Amino acid sequence: MRRAGRQPCSENEGYGVLLWVLLTGEAPYKGIDGLAVAYGVAVNKLTLPIPSTCPEPFAQLMSECWDQDPHRRPNFSSILAQLTALEQQVKEDMPQDSFHSLQEDWKLEIQDMFDELRAKEK
């Protein structure tokens, strides 16, 4: 994550990463060279892959948290409001075993994306 010259809502980029970890159960950029990740993130060329079947509200929130312009990222009050609104919807629409099944699919999709990144490193 970019740290130099912190600006309003810049820490929310980190919240997007945390949400990604909680949803996918994966380590960010697992198996990819740390310097390559740091450079890619610093020059706005690299973000974590959002699985194609990730529920749209979560995908949207992560994308907003990773907006290149820190001023366009949601503040924590907005994030909390979005998550509160999603809470009941998720409980009704996604039984826990359905979520775990999705999460397993996401892990495979993410692994494929990271394999592609590693191939580009070489």
CATH number where 22 lies: 1.10.510.10
Percent share of the chain, pLDDT over 90: 48
Q: For residue 65, is it within any domain? A: yes
Q: How many domains does the chain have?
A: 1
Q: For residue 45, is it within any domain? A: yes
Is 8:72 a contact under the CB 8 Å cutoff? no
| H helical segments located in the chain | 12-24, 34-42, 56-65, 76-93, 96-121
Residue 77 confidence class, pLDDT cut points 50, 70, 90? very high
Question: Which is higher by pLDDT, 99 or 97?
Answer: 99
Q: For residue 4, is it within any domain? A: no
Q: For residue 17, is it within any domain? A: yes
pLDDT at 119: 85
Domain that holds residue 47: 12-121
Q: For residue 6, is it within any domain? A: no
Residue 118 confidence class, pLDDT cut points 50, 70, 90? confident
Name residue, tokens 């907006």. Answer: 67
pLDDT at 1: 45
Is 32:118 a contact under the CB 8 Å cutoff? yes
Q: For residue 67, is it within any domain? A: yes
Q: For residue 7, is it within any domain? A: no
pLDDT at 9: 61
Name residue, tokens 């990740």. Answer: 37
Q: For residue 34, is it within any domain? A: yes
Tokens of 107: 């892990």
- pLDDT exceeds cutoff 50 at 78: yes
